[in-house]
Amino acid sequence: MITLKGNTVYLRALEPEDLTFIHHIENDESIWNVSNTQTPYSKFLIKQYLENAHQDIYEAKQLRLAICLNDSDVAIGLIDLFDFDPRNNRAGIGILIHQINNRESGIGSEALQLLINYSFTHLQLNQLYANIGTENEISIALFTKFGFELIGIKKQWNKVNDLYKDEALYQLINTK
């Protein structure tokens, strides 16, 4: 049995009931610089996305999961595998805990550990990578905690409020 459940959180597939939560996240301008979003999304488009969320990772080339506390089915964050490349056994990984009061509480660490284990054990990936703004100290600390190593800096990679910001590329190689 594939377990995506930890001591505090579990990861689950997206459901139609997540429409409002995802709409809120995708239209929260305060996090657009993290997700490289530049325009708002309509509920109609997100509903279409959710209707296709049943596609497996080999078909969609991505996997987006809701992060939930063990005592609730309500999503408090999202964690993604993106740019899934089965030929080279790699994928990008990203995480977002929406409410600030849920950040730096161990929720993100547990969710990231669950998805790393799933990626290496069940998908047999060789590597995961994360693109993180060099000023995002919290995300850098989270990913390096699990062994992600800095492999390069993309200079002036993202334009944020008329300023160009550097983005770091972190990589985790499966050593098992």
d(CA 133, CA 166): 6
- Per-residue pLDDT at 35: 60
Q: What is the pLDDT of residues 126-167, one digit of tens each?
A: 999 999 999 999 999 999 999 999 999 999 998 888 899 999
Q: Are 57 and 29 in contact (CB under 8 A)?
A: no
Tokens 């983005």 belong to residue: 167
Q: What is the pLDDT of residues 68-85, one digit of tens each?
A: 999 888 899 999 999 999
d(CA 65, CA 11): 6
Give the Cβ contact number of residue 54 at 10 Å. 10
Quote the pTM value.
0.89
Least confident among 33-37, 75-79, 116-120: 33-37
Q: Is 133 helix (H, G, I), strand (E, B) or coil?
A: strand
d(CA 57, CA 36): 21
Structure-model confidence comparison of residues 91 and 15, the more confident one = 91
d(CA 96, CA 78): 5
pLDDT-based confidence at 50, cuts 50/70/90?
confident
d(CA 162, CA 160): 6
Measured between alpha carbons, how far is residue 77 from residues 45, 94, 165 in Å?
19, 11, 25
Q: Nearest to residue 118, comparing CAs of 76, 144, 84?
A: 84
pLDDT-based confidence at 1, cuts 50/70/90?
very low
Going along the chain from its start, the domains and CATH numbers come out as 9-125 (3.40.630.30)
d(CA 18, CA 98): 13
